[in-house]
């Protein structure tokens, strides 16, 4: 195994890394949250924020690995910093660059790797946000796009830390700090707003001016730092996006009262930002050597990209990757909600759909054809139900359809239409399905409804397949509502 070659701009790259002053610093929640997200969405045991130093890779954040650094000559990340694209290894044992790597042949037995480069605003790749699996696997396009998005969030956090440290290093009276801020922060990606103790704006870099509408003030003094209606007029809302943020609770107001704030969630929506943007704001008090309040500084970080990434994470968590249908988790959530509503008279029908002889399809035609069959059936189910209903993939060749407020006399007819629609599939090959149906005529535990539909499905299979069996509602045993508000059925 040979070590990765050094990038052509290695000296400048290392200088860029050193400018952040982040090597060998303590763990921080902002980075740990990002590696936790990566581990969850890519379903990997190990996720790292790795910075590639002269002879080592050092981990600013680490999930699933006990070490804080490794030698650079055995680091997968040393290869990943050569390109702006995600560096992917599906199976390290099959790659001659890594087959004899000590981390592959020994602990932790790395098999799959995906590393998104951490690219600074001036174009240097100083490390990676990477995901590591202990089994060979492929990563989806959505997962790799998510990794790239989150890598940009890592860089934003590092930029914010660098700015904060520059502020903390600045000493002397407010005028000296202003000159430092003007020199350092005018081009910063974060918004920086500095006011004196009277609330006059001394520094407002371009992003702060865009977000707050404040410009550098003259010499006039103002007894009120933020005029009444400031938050309302600017469209500053709380994290719920509906409540106008109280003026007195804004980070600047608190900083001028001597109170520090960290990562306050703020949403801005106004004609300049009609879609709305999400911010994290940190406020600090500026004091002189005697401890008197001389002003306040607010750092404003645009976290809209992180919010969108989290939304994509949420979508991935409840979506079946192959068919695009909701997955088993989404199905459980919907059934829990319907079961709660059933206490107030809401009724719903659960139909479990199982493709007949699907193993034979895979064995005869191959898994690629089998996947196309699953996608075709998913489309049939999606097109055959109302917008208010749900079609989900439970796993393998098994699907589930949940319909609400259906007249019990129509259940057989509607389900037979589903069966016939599946039987009409001809591309890529003809298929049929067996269906088991249960209608919740009383408030009940959703697990019991699923179990009854599953039992009906097995009777449909025993009856020769390609048919529908509806559970006999008269056989249900109803018990009184338990103290947790959920009824029980068996």
Most confident of 122-136, 221-235, 306-320: 122-136
How would residue 220 be classed by pLDDT, with cut points 50, 70 and 90? very low
Tell me the sheet residues that pair with 196: 295
Tokens of 436: 């088991």
Contact 391, 382 (CB under 8 A): yes
- Mean pLDDT in residue range 295-323: 78
How far is CA 99 from its chain centroid?
Answer: 32
Whether 421 contacts 453, CB under 8 Å:
no
Residue 353: which residues within 8 A CB-CB, separation 6 or more?
Answer: 377, 381, 398, 399, 400, 401, 418, 422, 433, 434, 435
**Three-class SS string for 357-370?**
CHHHHHHHHCHHHH
Averaged confidence pLDDT in the chain: 83
DSSP type of residue 226: S
Give the per-residue pLDDT at 58. 96
- Report pLDDT for 340: 76
Tell me where in the chain the CATH 3.30.450.20 domain(s) lie: 170-308
Q: With 60 as the cut, is the pLDDT of residue 60 above it?
A: yes
Give dist(CA 128, CA 154) in Å, integer. Answer: 9
pLDDT, position 233: 78
Q: Which residue carries 């929640």 as its tokens?
A: 29
pLDDT at 268 over 50: yes
For the chain, where do the domains classified as CATH 3.30.450.40 start and end? Answer: 10-157
Q: What pLDDT is attached to residue 79?
A: 95
Strands 390-395 and 348-355 come out as unpaired
pLDDT of residue 235: 81
Q: Residue 45 — very low, low, confident or very high, per pLDDT cuts 50/70/90?
A: very high
Between 277 and 222, name the one with better pLDDT: 277
Angstrom CA distances, 153 to 189, 305, 469, 484, stand at 12, 7, 52, 42
CATH 3.30.70.270 range(s) for the chain read: 318-475
* pLDDT class of 17 with cuts at 50, 70, 90: very high
Pick the CATH number of 170-308 from 3.30.450.20, 2.40.160.60, 3.40.50.720, 3.40.47.10: 3.30.450.20
**What confidence category does residue 489 fall into, taking pLDDT thresholds of 50, 70 and 90?**
very low
DSSP string for residues in 77-104: HHHHTT-SSPEEES-GGG-TTTTT-HHH
Q: Is the pLDDT of residue 216 over 80?
A: no
Write down the CATH number for the domain with range 318-475: 3.30.70.270
> pLDDT value at position 222?
47
Burial class (CB in 10 A: 0-12, 13-18, 19+), 271: exposed
In this predicted structure, which of 65-74, 185-194, 332-341, 406-415 has the lowest mean pLDDT? 185-194
Predicted pLDDT of residue 440: 78
Q: What are phi and psi of 371, to 5 degrees?
A: -65, -40
- Among 432, 462, 436, smallest CA distance to 450 is for 436
pLDDT at 475: 43
CA distance 458 to 438: 13
* DSSP structure class, residue 289: T
- State residue 478's pLDDT score: 34
Which has more pLDDT, 124 or 439? 124
Residue 327 contacts residue 474 (beta carbons within 8 Å): no
For 465, the token pair is: 């397949």
Mean pLDDT of all residues in 186-199: 74
User: Does the pLDDT of residue 170 top 60, yes or no?
Assistant: no
pLDDT average, residue stretch 417-445: 86
| CATH homologous superfamily for the domain 10-157 | GAF domain (3.30.450.40)
What pLDDT is stored for residue 486 in this prediction?
31
How many other β-carbons are positioned within 10 Å of the β-carbon of residue 7?
A: 17
pLDDT of 172: 44
Identify which has the larger pLDDT, 480 or 318. 318
Taking 60 as the threshold, does the pLDDT of residue 118 lie above it? Answer: yes
Place of tokens 């400031």: 230
Closest CA to 194 of 172, 217, 165: 217
Whole-number Cα distances in Å, 201 to 163, 250, 292, 363: 19, 15, 18, 72
Q: Which residue's structure tokens are 């707050």?
A: 212
Compute CA distances 213 → 150, 186, 204, whole Å.
Answer: 29, 16, 9
Share of the chain above pLDDT 90, in %: 41
Buried-state track 79-117, b at ≥16 Cβ within 10 A, e below 16: bbbeeeebbbbebbeeeeebeebebbeeeeebbbbbbbb
Supply the pLDDT for residue 485: 35
* Euclidean distance between CA atoms 191 and 206, whole angstroms: 7
Beta bridge partners of 113: 89, 132
Least confident interval from 73-87, 159-173, 274-288: 159-173
Q: Is the pLDDT of residue 339 over 90?
A: no
More confident residue, 57 or 314: 57
Does the pLDDT at position 214 exceed 50?
A: yes
Please tell me the predicted confidence (pLDDT) of residue 186: 59
State the DSSP code for 409: G
Neighbouring residues of 368: CB distance < 8 A, sequence distance ≥ 6:
none
Say how many CA atoms lie within 13 Å of 147 toward its Cβ.
31
- Per-residue pLDDT band at 221 (split at 50, 70, 90): very low
Site of tokens 């999606």: 382
Residue 279 has pLDDT above 70, yes or no: yes
The structure tokens listed for 404 are 């609400």
Q: In this predicted structure, what is the pLDDT of residue 264? A: 86
Count of residues in the chain: 490
């Amino acid at each position: 195994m040979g070590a990765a070659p050094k990038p052509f701009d290695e000296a400048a790259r290392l200088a860029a890394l050193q400018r952040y002053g982040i090597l060998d610093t303590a763990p921080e929640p902002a980075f740990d949250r990002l590696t936790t997200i990566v581990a969850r969405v890519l379903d990997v045991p190990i996720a790292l924020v790795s910075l590639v130093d002269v002879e080592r890779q050092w981990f600013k954040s680490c999930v699933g690995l006990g070490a804080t650094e490794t030698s650079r000559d055995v680091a997968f990340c040393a290869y990943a910093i050569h390109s702006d694209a995600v560096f992917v290894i599906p199976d390290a044992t099959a790659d001659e660059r890594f087959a004899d790597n000590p981390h592959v042949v020994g602990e932790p037995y790395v098999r799959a790797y995906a590393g998104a480069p951490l690219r600074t605003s001036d174009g240097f790749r100083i490390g990676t946000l990477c995901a590591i699996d202990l089994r060979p696997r492929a990563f989806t396009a959505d997962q790799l796009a998510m990794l790239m998005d989150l890598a940009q969030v890592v860089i934003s956090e590092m930029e914010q830390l660098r700015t904060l440290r520059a502020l903390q290093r600045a000493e002397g009276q407010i005028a000296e700090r202003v000159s430092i801020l003007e020199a350092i922060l005018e081009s910063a990606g974060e918004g920086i707003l500095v006011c004196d103790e009277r609330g006059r704006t001394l520094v407002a870099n371009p992003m702060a001016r865009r977000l707050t509408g404040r410009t550098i003030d003259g010499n006039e003094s103002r007894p009120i730092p933020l005029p009444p209606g400031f938050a309302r007029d600017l469209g500053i809302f709380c994290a719920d996006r509906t409540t106008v943020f109280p003026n007195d609770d804004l980070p600047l107001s608190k900083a001028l009262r001597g109170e520090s704030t960290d990562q306050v969630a703020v949403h801005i929506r106004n004609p300049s930002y009609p879609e709305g943007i999400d911010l994290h704001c940190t406020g600090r008090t500026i004091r002189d050597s005697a401890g008197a309040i001389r002003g306040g500084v607010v750092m404003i970080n645009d976290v809209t990209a992180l919010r969108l990434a989290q939304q994509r994470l949420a979508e991935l968590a409840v979506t079946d990757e192959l068919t695009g249908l909701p997955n088993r988790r989404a199905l459980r959530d919907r059934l829990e909600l319907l079961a709660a509503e059933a206490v107030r008279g809401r009724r719903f029908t659960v139909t479990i759909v199982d493709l007949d002889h699907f193993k034979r399809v895979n064995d005869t035609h191959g898994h690629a054809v089998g996947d196309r069959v699953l996608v075709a059936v998913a489309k049939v189910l999606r097109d055959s139900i109302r917008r208010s209903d749900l079609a989900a993939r439970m796993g393998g060749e098994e699907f589930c359809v949940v319909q609400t407020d259906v007249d019990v006399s129509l259940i057989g007819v509607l389900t037979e239409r589903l069966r016939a629609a599946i039987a009409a599939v001809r591309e890529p090959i003809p298929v049929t399905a067996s269906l088991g149906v249960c209608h919740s005529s009383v408030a009940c535990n959703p697990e019991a409804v699923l179990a009854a539909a599953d039992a009906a499905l097995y009777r449909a299979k025993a009856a020769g397949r390609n048919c529908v069996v509806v559970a006999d509602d008269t056989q249900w045993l109803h018990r009184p509502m338990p103290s947790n508000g959920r009824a029980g059925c068996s």
